[in-house]
Chain A
Amino acid sequence: MPRLPARLLALVAGILLPLTGAAAQEPAARPGAAAAKDDAKESPLVSTEWLEKNLDAKSLRIVEVSVEPGVFERGHIPGAQNVVWHTDLVDTVSRDIAGPDKFTALARRLGIDRTTTVVLYGDNNNWFAAWGAWVLAQYGLVDNVKLLDGGRRKWEAEKRPLDTRTTEVAASTFTAPAPSPALRARFGDVLAVARKERDEQILDIRSPDEFSGKVIAPPGVQELAIRAGHIPGSVNVPWAKAVNPDGTIKSPAELKALYAAAGIDGTKPIITSCRIGERSSHSWFVLSRILGYQARNYDGSWTEYGNAVGVPVVNLAGTVWGGK
């Protein structure tokens, strides 16, 4: 395809995009968030040290979103409340995030509103905590929501105290608006990029073997797609490259260099994608909240795209039905 039409499209998209949900997009794309500041009020991350010092802060709500059941109950950060990602944050019948009513009830139970500082953390490198941050952001809870840098693992590794008692907080009066569409990419958005009808970038954060099409799913995970490979035009930067060995997120300068090497520098809107959209929330958080790039998460991810009929797919490994 010649370059000119693509540029034209980009221009058109650039003009049109801000018109759709401009208000909700504003916080994520705000350039002020680009420089990660040390002040916990400004930064999207809080350190374990900061959190331990501020455990008793009045307007602080600590929320654990872990994958493994029983982890929270057997010891959590003092004052933390539990959110079960696969029932609390989703619609359990149709494949969707929790609707406004359900989310309102959850936020009220957790005592969360727009003025409280919410610190999310969890096991598994904060994957689901980041996913939780993405869900909260869609309901307008953006700047007051932080991730605990290094998550549960770092807190435990530093031998900081855990608690098994139940936390009781006063319910909030939060009422969820309709979820903002600006932080979530849909199948149609991704397909438009794949067909080069729209000039955006897709960041695929799965493992190189999944990306190339050698395997459909990571080891030990059910193959939920019919085809292997990736969405045309996407680039591969596995999510784990954004973190240090201790699980903390790398410095903004390192992150900028990491993504710039893959051609992602924030000049174009970005769509993050993985298998079911949860690991990609981690990269969404990094791009959107730490670097201040305009990023959306595609939660349909490969389990939607890789099952769709008649869409273009790149399969570098040349596998057929996941085999040779």
Chain B
Amino acid sequence: MRPLTGPVAERSAPRPQDRASAGTAGRAPSRVPYRVLAALAVAAGLAAWAWWLAGQPGGARLALSLSFGALFGFVLQRSRFCFYCQWRDLLVEGDPRGLLGILAALAAGVAGYAVVLGAWMPDPSGTRLPPDAHIGPVGPVLVLAGAVFGAGMAVSGSCISAHLYRLGEGSPTAPFALVGTGLGFVLGFATWNPLYLASVSEAPVIWLPRHLGYAGSLVLALTLLAALAWPLLHRLPEPAGPRPRPEPLRAVFTGRWPVWLGGLAVGAIGTLAYLRVGPLGVTAEIGGRARQAAGAAGLLPARLEGLDTFRGCATALRDAVLTPNGLFVGGLVLASFAAALAAGQFRPARPTRGQAGRGLLGGVLLGWGAMTGLGCSVGTLLSGIMAGALSGWVFGLAMFAGAAGTLWLGRRTGHLA
């Protein structure tokens, strides 16, 4: 640990975020890296939790979920893998690198899924869908869900997965956005039945490999991603002079990763998680708990038509205290917390009224969009596109369009930066 801790403590000693780590680890003396010790303690706690879970009957899957969640949270935090921030970087700053990272995640995941799916379902042409892959109905409701979700990203500052990793960074907006997401889910459940009967029930569930085969679907997805990347690659900023080669430990644990690296890791985690546990998704637990609470409070229709028959981030009522998705989300937040601590990026702040308001409002939009879209930027967009679902592409396009439109409007009216 010496090469890491010394420079970290020195470099970040005068920065304000040290007050934060002092909050968790007492007063921070000049050379003792309490912050890093705290990060190690959280990481060790996560490992111990996974170890314990794995020893419980039927706990192997839970332990894996926790581990994948932790890995995902670490990667998101390290590479700032945030759909809205990267989109805004391109639109406002003209920097395409972040978006290229998202495309890298999709390309890696599409290839990884093709390998897994080819083994699980050698013949994709039948009537069957691959087990629990996020392949949803494609119709006007999906477009609306994506656009509203995108608007929620612009208003609250990021998507649900990014709010979760930012919760680990001490973001003042994230808690409000996540509460808002829960409320948005309840609103979504309340509006589901009319939407289902009017449109979703007749929307086709389109799985591209069924029509194109695995090779055709893979070629199509990679070609589309390349076509999207092409103009971005021509707008890369000039490199800012020769940079010193960072030490490996600092490069991994304190420096920001380039987004493409995070993207490749996300693609790999997505594939491995699908192989062993299930597709990546962060809203099943939030939605499930919101549904449980709203049901208990009598705020839900007695029956949500057809909802539990769809693929995606399932919100079916659960009895268990610990669910795979709950542990995935828990691991994500805790690992992001540990990563932020180690990097000196844990910066809690007292929320302003504006942050609280934007978080709540944006969160409601995120929640409504994720409920009616049967997942969010991770569950429907990432896991959907990786699996060859048309719904992933449609949700993604609508989401980016909704975010761009809301950002444009917000900047014109002076409400958004």
Chain A interface residues toward B at CB < 8 A: 69-70, 72-74, 84, 87, 157, 164-166, 220
Contact = CB atoms under 8 A, between A and B. Distances in A.
A165 B131 contact: no
A286 B167 CA distance: 54
18 contacts: A69-B131, A69-B132, A70-B131, A70-B132, A72-B131, A73-B120, A73-B130, A74-B277, A84-B128, A87-B127, A87-B128, A157-B57, A164-B119, A164-B120, A164-B275, A165-B119, A166-B119, A220-B319
Given A87-B128, A220-B317, 11 more contacts: A69-B131, A69-B132, A70-B278, A72-B131, A73-B130, A73-B131, A74-B275, A74-B277, A164-B119, A166-B119, A166-B122
A73 B116 CA distance: 10
A164 B117 CA distance: 11
A196 B317 CA distance: 42
B211 to A, nearest CB: 20
Contacts of B275: 74, 164
Contacts of B31: none
Interface in B174-226: none
Nearest to A157: B57
A143 to B, nearest CB: 31
Contacts of B276: 74
Nearest to B120: A73
Contacts of B277: 74
Interface string B313-326: 00001010000000
B397 to A, nearest CB: 28
A225 to B, nearest CB: 16
A150 to B, nearest CB: 14
Nearest to B127: A87
A89 B83 CA distance: 44
Contacts of B131: 69-70, 72-73
A70 B277 CA distance: 9
A286 to B, nearest CB: 25
Contacts of A220: 317, 319
Interface centre among A70, A157, A220 (most CB of B within 10 A): A70
Nearest to B131: A70
A74 B120 CA distance: 9
Nearest to A69: B131
Interface in B267-303: 275-278
Contacts of B130: 73
Nearest to B317: A220
Interface in B245-287: 275-278
A220 B292 CA distance: 13
Contacts of B119: 164-166
Interface in B121-142: 122, 127-128, 130-132
Contacts of A157: 57
Contacts of B319: 220
Nearest to A168: B122
8 tightest CB-CB pairs across the interface, nearest first?
Answer: A70-B131, A69-B131, A73-B120, A70-B132, A73-B131, A166-B122, A69-B132, A166-B119
A74 B132 CA distance: 11
A189 B177 CA distance: 60
A166 B120 contact: yes
A220 to B, nearest CB: 7
A166 B317 CA distance: 33
A101 to B, nearest CB: 16
Contacts of A69: 131-132
Contacts of A164: 119-120, 275
A82 to B, nearest CB: 9
A47 to B, nearest CB: 21
Nearest to B318: A220
A74 B122 CA distance: 15
A157 B317 CA distance: 28
B315 to A, nearest CB: 15
B256 to A, nearest CB: 34
A166 to B, nearest CB: 5
Nearest to A153: B58
Contacts of A73: 120, 130-131
Interface in B342-401: none
A72 B120 CA distance: 9
Contacts of B57: 157
Interface in B78-123: 119-120, 122
A136 to B, nearest CB: 21
Contacts of B128: 84, 87
Contacts of A74: 275-277
Contacts of A166: 119-120, 122
A73 B122 CA distance: 12
Nearest to A73: B120
A72 B131 CA distance: 9
Contacts of A72: 131
A211 B278 CA distance: 37
A165 B275 CA distance: 12
A89 to B, nearest CB: 14
Nearest to A75: B276
B314 to A, nearest CB: 11
Nearest to B133: A70
A61 to B, nearest CB: 18
A244 to B, nearest CB: 16
A87 B126 CA distance: 12
